[in-house]
Amino acid sequence: MKQTLLFAPTLRDMPKEAEVISHKILLRGGYIKQTAAGVYVYMPLGYKVIKKVENIIREELDKIGCNELLMPTLQGKDLWVESGRWENYGKELMRIKDRHDREFCLGPTHEEVITSIVRDYITSYKKLPVALYQIQTKFRDEFRPRFGLMRGREFIMKDLYTFSSTYEDLDEWYLKIRQAYINILTRCELNFRIVNACSGNIGGNSSEEFMVLCDIGEDTIVYSDSSDFASNIEVVDYPDGAPSPDGKGTIKHAKGIEAGHIFKLGTKYSEPMKATFIDKDGKTKPIIMGCYGIGVSRLLMAVLEQHYNNDRAVWPKELSPFDIHVIPLDKEGTENYNIALNIYNELTKQGYDVLFDDRNESAGVKFKDADLIGCRNRIIVGKKANEGIIELKDMLNNNSSELNVNEIINRKYE
Ligand code: ATP
Ligand code: MG
């Protein structure tokens, strides 16, 4: 893409409202824009990264046989009364009335809707299991929206629900999805830990959270320094330095950002909502459910908290808004500019997503904006380009190398 066509209004000054580095980067880079407390526009660059996260999620879930659908945001009160949550959910639920005074909420999560869909179509064990997911905007009237996309009142979540006829089958799905989550967070190049968790407003008997390790995280993780034991402090309160309960190693504390949460719901929704099936033995039983969420918009911030270099974003390979940023330093019409244009065209032809800085700006402005955009690979076509010397900069480790046009065009970019 030519940069003259890119709508990415970068900010020169540090925005005052941003307290954490990921939020600063997103605001300064023109990735997001706030419109109300906890409500954000995903600007073109931000939306590009969101779509990349979504596609990683889709690939990993489709691979294990999950079906994507899209449910309505607007949910009638009736279903919530059936599940008992109209009363119990509390003030986080955004409730509204239509012109006839009928009550609705804006979905904070979709157990009620998905359970009502499945109960209408599935009557026999022969049609089970089934796994359904969506990537959708959720609404929660958080008491304290903060840190940009970290705790929004309107945010993007991937929510997935499984329906099984046996607890063994639920266990199998749970493990498959747990592994898919590991794959997703690994592809986002996150350092994370899976911890035992409280089930909160969603309910059920057991759940685990995927915690991205990071000092600004709102959750405290209690973990063993020499085994897999790890738990949210809300579940167990072992002091730092205590022996680990599994007998292996010592307890340590760390902060984490909750990126995902997986639950074995059992029959918490299917029982009150009468989502039943006829089993092999001819008996009518409630369907056994699991539910699994990932905070898609929150992930952007979690990723940036672990991927920056001197206040600059350096996006992980699969999430970078562009693969390569080509920056000519000479003006349009010059020989060096045309060399850069040729590199841009060649790399684009090879399938790379390349950003070409065709603006009539000084080198200083171009570099500043390039820092804010945060592509890992930067090709700088400067004064010596016509002597066959072009600079390739890896922004992750600040490595620079000088290559000729052929080498620039024919190498592989990570
Ligand atoms: P938290 O404890 O952070 O409030 P939660 O337990 O309420 O999270 P879930 O209901 O399990 O969250 O939602 C699934 C995922 O959605 C979470 O793991 C998180 O990544 C994301 N999420 C939840 N609330 C928000 C929010 N207000 N803004 C952005 N993402 C959110
Ligand atoms: Mg919450």
Residues 80-106: tens digit of each pLDDT: 999 999 999 999 999 999 999 999 999
337-353: pLDDT as tens digits = 999 999 999 999 999 99
Over range 189-209, report the average pLDDT.
85
Q: Is 202 in the pocket of ligand 1 (CB under 6 A)?
A: yes
Q: Which ligand 1 atom is nearest residue 197's CA?
A: 6
Structure tokens at 273: 């909502």
Give the integer Cα–Cα distance in Å for 300 and 285.
Answer: 41
Same domain, 169 and 303: yes
Same domain, 135 and 79: yes
Over range 68-85, report the average pLDDT.
97
- Confidence grade of residue 287 (pLDDT, cut at 50, 70, 90): very high
- Confidence grade of residue 120 (pLDDT, cut at 50, 70, 90): very high
Same domain, 242 and 278: yes
Same domain, 355 and 296: no
Task: Please tell me the number of the ligand nearest to residue 217's CA.
Answer: 1
Over range 197-202, report the average pLDDT.
76
Domain termination residue (choose one: 252, 276, 309): 309
Same domain, 220 and 359: no
Give the integer Cα–Cα distance in Å for 137 and 111.
Answer: 15
Q: Is 258 in the pocket of ligand 1 (CB under 6 A)?
A: yes
Over range 24-33, report the average pLDDT.
95
| pLDDT of 201 over the 90 cut | no
Q: Is 152 in the pocket of ligand 1 (CB under 6 A)?
A: yes
Task: Please tell me the number of the ligand nearest to residue 91's CA.
Answer: 2
Give the CATH number of the domain where residue 97 resides.
3.30.930.10
Same domain, 256 and 298: yes
- Residue 315, number of CB atoms within 10 A of its CB: 26
The string of DSSP letters for 43-70 reads -HHHHHHHHHHHHHHHHHHHHTT-EE--
| pLDDT of 155 over the 80 cut | yes
Residue of 34, 157, 210 best suited for mutating to test ligand 1, as the one with most atoms within 8 Å of CB:
157
Same domain, 401 and 304: no
Q: Is residue 298 part of a domain?
A: yes
| pLDDT of 297 over the 70 cut | yes
Q: Report the percent of the chain where pLDDT is more than 70.
A: 99
Domain termination residue (choose one: 309, 342, 369): 309
Give the integer Cα–Cα distance in Å for 262 and 241.
Answer: 28
Structure tokens at 125: 């064990």
- For 51, 145, 195, 225, the CA distances from 288, given in Å and listed in that order, are 32, 34, 23, 35
| pLDDT of 135 over the 70 cut | yes
Same domain, 218 and 268: yes
Q: Is residue 351 part of a domain?
A: yes
231-246: pLDDT as tens digits = 999 999 899 999 999 9
Same domain, 15 and 79: yes
- For 84, 119, 238, 344, 385, the CA distances from 334, given in Å and listed in that order, are 70, 67, 67, 15, 11
Q: Give the H/E segment covering residue 75.
A: strand 74-76
The pLDDT value recorded for residue 45 is 97
Q: Report the percent of the chain where pLDDT is more than 90.
A: 93
Domain termination residue (choose one: 254, 288, 309): 309
Q: Is residue 69 part of a domain?
A: yes
The pLDDT value recorded for residue 181 is 98
11-24: pLDDT as tens digits = 988 888 899 999 99
Over range 304-312, report the average pLDDT.
91
| pLDDT of 204 over the 70 cut | no
The pLDDT value recorded for residue 414 is 87
| pLDDT of 8 over the 70 cut | yes
Q: Give the H/E segment covering residue 257.
A: strand 251-266
Same domain, 289 and 392: no
The pLDDT value recorded for residue 202 is 67
Residue of 261, 262, 303 best suited for mutating to test ligand 1, as the one with most atoms within 8 Å of CB:
261
- Confidence grade of residue 6 (pLDDT, cut at 50, 70, 90): very high
Over range 190-206, report the average pLDDT.
83
Q: Is residue 315 part of a domain?
A: no
Give the integer Cα–Cα distance in Å for 196 and 101.
Answer: 42
Give the CATH number of the domain where residue 337 resides.
3.40.50.800
Q: Is residue 42 part of a domain?
A: yes
| pLDDT of 203 over the 70 cut | no
The pLDDT value recorded for residue 206 is 81
Question: Over the chain, what is the mean pLDDT?
Answer: 95
Q: Is residue 77 part of a domain?
A: yes
Same domain, 279 and 358: no
Give the residue whose CA is nearest to atom 2 of ligand 1: 258
Same domain, 174 and 197: yes
Q: Is residue 242 part of a domain?
A: yes
229-283: pLDDT as tens digits = 999 999 998 999 999 999 999 999 999 999 999 999 999 999 999 999 999 999 9
Q: Which domain holds residue 294?
A: 3-309
Task: Please tell me the number of the ligand nearest to residue 265's CA.
Answer: 1
- Residue 308, number of CB atoms within 10 A of its CB: 17
> Structural domain tally of the chain?
2
Q: Is residue 314 part of a domain?
A: no
The pLDDT value recorded for residue 314 is 92
